[in-house]
Chain A
């Protein structure tokens, strides 16, 4: 006798593959949607860059008094440091503790005077400004400082350079990871969860409540195949389809990333050369682990509700509270710094998964966190499958009792 689960699985799959509408809503649409959303978001973000931010914490080496006074008008608070502290401050800029670091040459004013009097010596005084393009505050401080110095330079008839030391070193202290992380980590986790939910919710009610509604499930249930195998076959097919939806979302994201990144141009340099390849294979594997387990959980939960429902319509009503819960759990993760999250709160289904997504996108993965989130998904799916089997064996539930 052929394995019943395999027989059911094949039937379910040939249904899904053959149904163009289903294939579109479950697999193609998520990717398309995310591509459009992210491309639009990329445009919106360049607008955001020009927004005013209140104050900047700058560190400076040898900054002349009159420049500091000019900057004070733009809400700069300057901390004078010695030149051996620069490495530490650079880290501070990268970490977001400082907005910016400006390094003026020793004896900047004399150098200027000398340069002016010689009328073009070979030593052009150079001002070095370190900033972090992934940090809005830092980017704005950079733009402000550069424009302030430009004004000054014009009045002195072009006598010094900014960030023109000829050094290999980059003045932008943001790593490409920072940049990708700050853009992808902000909303992508929620978006991904929402799209995964949408995929799942478009599949399970049709497959279970639909068969109940049309009465075709009866013929299935009086075959000698155990109901647990019937459930397994259905869940496998549903999860695979939802997973394809998740992958489609992914393809959508990574196709839109170049457009998204190139829109984030800031004065003094574009970061348009950044792409999604800042993520390593291991990041994708971790992401897949979370997506697979989360899809399993979502499919199981929606299947339970679809089994209780007598029709597809009733099922779509019953899943509404679940949708709200998923949304809520996702949005709860906004403004949460993964570092501060307790292990216990990662056991909250959906929420833990979204936090896990955030950690992956912002390069702050804590393996323990991901395992807790994925483990929670797996355990709950297991419980769900148990409940589902009970429901399938309940004549009241299955036969309209």
Chain B
């Protein structure tokens, strides 16, 4: 880990228009909801940064802004110095985006999908072949390389999902709720994957509401609530005198956060 800022978020805000139906469901009168409200933080090269917050805190929205899926209303964010607003294509070359939900076209084989994403990212053939061999071997996908995704086990699907998301060897991996809804064995595959990425010098940002996951894998943590950063720092510093959970609830009550 060094002080090279790979992810830099500067005062981003993002609000969504609510449809009449959404307003009714949420019992709100305002036509817009502010999901992220002036959020700033940085993540450094080679670390795993965790965004911790309750449901609706704005974690997914933040990660989507970082992945150029959503444009912020205000502020800016940079990946490896490239602005998500000004140079989204440069950003896309540098990131892999993942969620715990496996979203693979079931019709294809892992081998086909890996090649497809390499080609979409413009990876040259030599690199593609060596990378495929290495990753497939490491995750035990090689035996199923030519089996349709539809016929794979949940765990294997998850592995294929991880591998295809980083097929182009991105510098930064953005992972929304990495272990949400996973069985313990698959969750272990995912956490091992994250620590392996750190070992390779990648920068990883995850979002979660699970304290233990942060404690297990993260170097630094940002606690967010209501679209704002409540506290941000080294995990070891923050948890010197109290557990992460105690810290979280102390902050949560201080800020007068209300449960939805």
Say whether A and B bind each other: yes
Interface assignment of A382: CB less than 8 Å from any CB of chain B: no
B150 CB to nearest A CB, Å: 12
Of B64, B107, B108, B120, which one neighbours A223 at CB under 8 angstroms? Answer: B120
Please state if B92 and A223 are interface contacts (CB–CB under 8 Å): yes
Whether the pair A224, B92 counts as a contact (CB closer than 8 A) is yes
| Number of A-B pairs, beta carbon distance below 8 Å | 62
Q: Which of A7, A222, A224 contacts B69 (CB 8 A)?
A: A222
A341 at the interface (CB under 8 A from B): no
Q: How near does chain B come to A2, taking the closest CB pair, in angstroms?
A: 5
Closest to B165 in A: A219
Q: Contact at B107–A222, with CB atoms within 8 Å?
A: no
Q: Are A14 and B112 interface neighbours, CB within 8 A? A: yes
Which segment, of A55-63, A210-218, A298-306, A320-328, faces chain B? A210-218
Does A343 sit within 8 A of B, measured CB to CB? no
What is the bound-complex CA distance between A218 and B102, given in angstroms? 12
Instruction: Report chain A residues within 8 Å CB of B93.
Output: 224
Which residues of chain B are within 8 angstroms of A215 by Cβ–Cβ distance?
101, 103
Contact with A222, one of B16, B92, B104, B119 (Cβ below 8 angstroms) = B92
When the two chains form their complex, are residues B120 and A7 in contact, meaning their CB atoms are under 8 A apart?
Answer: yes
Which residues of B sit under 8 angstroms from A11, Cβ to Cβ? 108, 112, 116
A225 engages B120 (CB within 8 Å): yes
Query: With an 8 A cutoff between CB atoms, is B220 at the interface?
Result: no
User: In the complex, what distance in Å separates the CA atom of A395 from the CA atom of B70?
Assistant: 6
B220 CB, nearest partner CB in chain A, Å: 24
B178 to chain A, nearest CB (A): 16
Q: Establish whether residues B117 and A399, one from each chain, have CB atoms under 8 Å apart when the complex forms.
A: no
Say yes or no: B119 contacts A2, CB within 8 Å. Answer: yes
Bound: A349/B12 CA distance, A? 46
Cβ of A220 under 8 Å from chain B: yes
A218 and B101 CA atoms in complex are apart in Å by 12
Give A212-252 interface residues, CB cut-off 8 Å to B: 214-216, 218-226
Complex contact A224–B70 (CB within 8 A): no
Closest to B121 in A: A223
Residues of A within 8 A of B119 (CB): 2, 7
In the complex, chain B residues 67-107 whose Cβ is within 8 Å of any chain A Cβ: 67-71, 89, 92-93, 95, 97, 101, 103-105, 107
Given A14-B112, A399-B70, do A218 and B122 touch, yes or no (CB 8 Å)? no
Instruction: Indicate if the CB atoms of A19 and B107 lie closer than 8 Å.
Output: yes
Q: Knowing A2-B122, A395-B70, say if A214 contacts B105 (CB, 8 Å).
A: yes
Residues of B within 8 A of A (CB-CB), count: 28
Residues from chain A with a CB closer than 8 A to the CB of B16 are 401
In the bound assembly, the distance between CA atoms of A214 and B70 in angstroms comes to 19
**Contact digits for A240-281, partner B, Cβ 8 Å, 1 yes 0 no:** 000000000000000000000000000000000000000000
- In contact, A222 and B95 (Cβ under 8 angstroms): yes
Q: Which residue of A lies closest to B93 (CB)?
A: A224
Given A219-B165, A222-B69, A222-B97, A214-B103 contact (CB < 8 Å):
yes
Q: Across the interface, which residues of B come within 8 angstroms of A222, CB to CB? A: 67-69, 92, 95, 97
User: A residues within 8 A CB of B117?
Assistant: 219, 223
Q: Which of A216, A396, A399 has the most CB of B within 10 A?
A: A216
| In the complex with contacts A7-B116, A222-B69, A399-B64, A15-B103 CB distance below 8 A | no
Residues of A contacting B165 with CB < 8 Å?
A: 219
* Residues of A close to B122: CB separation below 8 A: 1-2, 224
Q: Which residues of B contact A211 (CB under 8 A)?
A: 105
At the interface, yes or no: A166 with Cβ under 8 Å from chain B? Answer: no
**Which residues of chain A from 1 to 15 have any CB-CB distance to chain B below 8 Å in the complex?**
1-2, 4, 7-8, 11, 14-15
A18 within 8 A of B: yes
Of the candidates B69, B92, B116, which one forms a contact with A399 in the assembled complex, judged by CB atoms under 8 Å apart?
B69
Given contacts A219-B165, A399-B64, contact A224 B103 (CB under 8 A): no
Minimum Cβ distance to chain B for residue A236 (Å): 16
Report the bound CA distance from A223 to B104 in whole Å: 15
Pairwise interchain contact B103-A218, C-beta atoms closer than 8 A: yes
What separation, in Å, do the CA atoms of A401 and B108 have in the docked complex?
29
Residues of chain B lying within 8 A (CB to CB) of residue A1? 122
Among residues of B, the one whose C-beta sits closest to the C-beta of A18 is B107
Residues of A within 8 A of B112 (CB): 11, 14
Contact A218 B92 (CB under 8 A): no
Kindly list chain B residues whose C-beta atoms are within 8 Å of the C-beta of A7.
116, 119-120
B120: chain A residues within 8 A (beta carbon): 4, 7-8, 220, 223-225
* Shortest CB distance B108–A (Å): 7
9 closest Cβ pairs, A-B complex: A1-B122, A215-B103, A223-B120, A7-B119, A224-B92, A224-B89, A224-B93, A216-B103, A216-B105
Apart from A224-B89, A224-B120, 12 more pairs, CB < 8 Å: A2-B122, A4-B120, A19-B107, A218-B97, A219-B103, A220-B120, A222-B68, A222-B92, A223-B92, A224-B121, A224-B122, A225-B120
20 contacts between A and B (CB under 8 A): A4-B120, A7-B119, A8-B120, A15-B108, A18-B107, A216-B105, A218-B103, A219-B97, A219-B117, A219-B164, A222-B68, A222-B69, A222-B95, A222-B97, A223-B117, A223-B120, A224-B92, A224-B120, A225-B120, A226-B89
